Amino acid sequence: MGEVPLTLSGWSSADAAQVRDQLGRVPRGVVGVAARTHAGDVAVVATAPRLDDGSPFPTTFYLTHPHLVKLVSTLEATGAMSEYQRRLDDPDRARAYRDAHETYIRQRAEIGRIAGIAEVAEIAGISAGGMPERVKCLHALVAHALASGPGINPVGDDVLRRLAREGTWKQPGWSEEELS
């Protein structure tokens, strides 16, 4: 299966306050910060696979940064998901997307382990964003790409490249080559 691409930073009271302000509510089940902006602001949080109330929660990586959420929402509203879905007609890209699905599931298991939560049977085999066959939620796919780094989620990577070309977002730690 290979190494699980996952780097979480701590979850401080300042992070919790920032994400509460970003979302307009108290976040649930956060295990750590999965990605930050150039300024150090929280962009993506990693969430436990089971919430404190016992509910299964398949969305492991949650996009929180308001500017990025708005950019991705605009792409979804303008029909970009069908463009990204068509790209999966390429067999190599489809294979990479299926691999991203498997990576997501392994990452969730690792986050569960960190949080002291065993496998959650209700969401076994389920990832997010429509993976492994469909492009359903660009927010989830971008969050996964940011949490994993370049080369893991081809659709999330494509969205981030597009935003970089448009000059609306550039993620720290990603080289110009990875964004072109």
Strand pairing partners for 157? Answer: none
Tens-digit pLDDT profile for residues 43-57: 999 999 999 999 999
Q: Label residue 174 exposed, middle or buried (CB < 10 Å: 0-12, 13-18, 19+).
A: middle
Tens-digit pLDDT profile for residues 14-30: 999 999 999 999 999 99
Cα torsion through 77, 83, 84, 88, rounded to 10: 150
Q: What is the pTM of this model?
A: 0.94
Strand pairing partners for 56? Answer: 50
